[in-house]
Amino acid sequence: MRICFILNPTSGTNRTQDVPALLTRYATAAGADFEVQATQYAGHAEELARRAARQGCRVVVAVGGDGTVNEVARGLLGTAAALGIIPRGSGNGLARHLRLPLDLPGAVQRVCRPTFQRIDVGRINGRPFFCTAGLGFDAHVSKMFARAGTRGLSTYIKVSLREYRRYQPVPVQLELNNQVLATNCYVLAFANAAQYGNNAYIAPRADIQDGLLDVCLIDALPLTRAVRVGVGLALGTLATSGAAVYHTSHHIRVRTEHTLGFHVDGDYVADAAEFEVALEHLALEVAV
């Protein structure tokens, strides 16, 4: 079984480790037939993953954060290769949902002796996501976070608190399950997996193999509700807290008079006024 490790050298907050050397050490100890490729620019991981799949690699491993995982997984859609993950980011949402080891030696050992399963894949305006996508405040924070200059949970919290004082909800029209809902959007999250990352559970009941997206709507976020949302995210109780409204669907449309930013797997993409969100059932194989 040939394995290709695709390493994002800029992922993570601990960049003093010689990750290629450690990958080589642990994968050799596990008896793997492997190669290591490093990304050089945004989007490169997708290209490398597609090439590795064409060359017959059975497992193509994203070594990085959720953005790297998204790129590698995009490159593997429609191929015979499975996605592996060595989590090296600040959130590691998909790795946590799949209960993969978060330490480097354990993650390498697991991916070198994997079992396989298939998972659902979401798309928002044609852009694949594997963990979560969303509109509103979380997308706005992801945009500001990318500009912050530093990574990590503490930076994300600082940016979130700063932007909370500024952000206002936007009216939207939400179409799903043969219903049309006129509402405000502070956060509109589409969850394939249960969490954003860092064990922040936006959709604790989400099942990554059920053919449905869990849709979480928060129409406003005054301070008292913000506290309940924060506690619910941390404890995995948001769905029962009364602070958010949930739906499940495999196809959602959203329209708004004012453009909204959207993110996929924590990375801001663009602003738009119309969104189409759909799910592809069991469209990606993963090594777990």
The whole-model pTM stands at: 0.93
Handedness of CA 103, 106, 112, 118 (dihedral sign): negative
pLDDT of 206 = 97
Residue 86, pLDDT score: 96
Q: What percent of the chain has pLDDT over 90?
A: 84
Q: What is the pLDDT of residues 67-76, one digit of tens each?
A: 999 999 999 9
Report which of 123, 128, 1, 126 is spatially closest to residue 61, judged by C-alpha positions.
Answer: 1
Position 185 pLDDT exceeds 60: yes
Exposure on the CB side of residue 140, measured as CA atoms within 13 A: 20
Average pLDDT, the chain: 94
The model's pLDDT over 79-113, given as tens digits with 9 standing for 90+, comes to 999 999 999 988 899 999 999 999 999 999 999 99
Residues with Cβ within 8 Å of 86's Cβ and at least 6 positions away in sequence, in order, are 5, 23, 61, 62, 63, 64, 104, 107, 108, 111
pLDDT at site 15: 61
**Tens digits of residue pLDDT in 2-59:** 999 999 998 765 666 788 999 999 999 999 999 999 999 999 999 999 999 999 999 9
Which tens digits make up the pLDDT trace of 253-273? 999 998 999 999 999 999 999
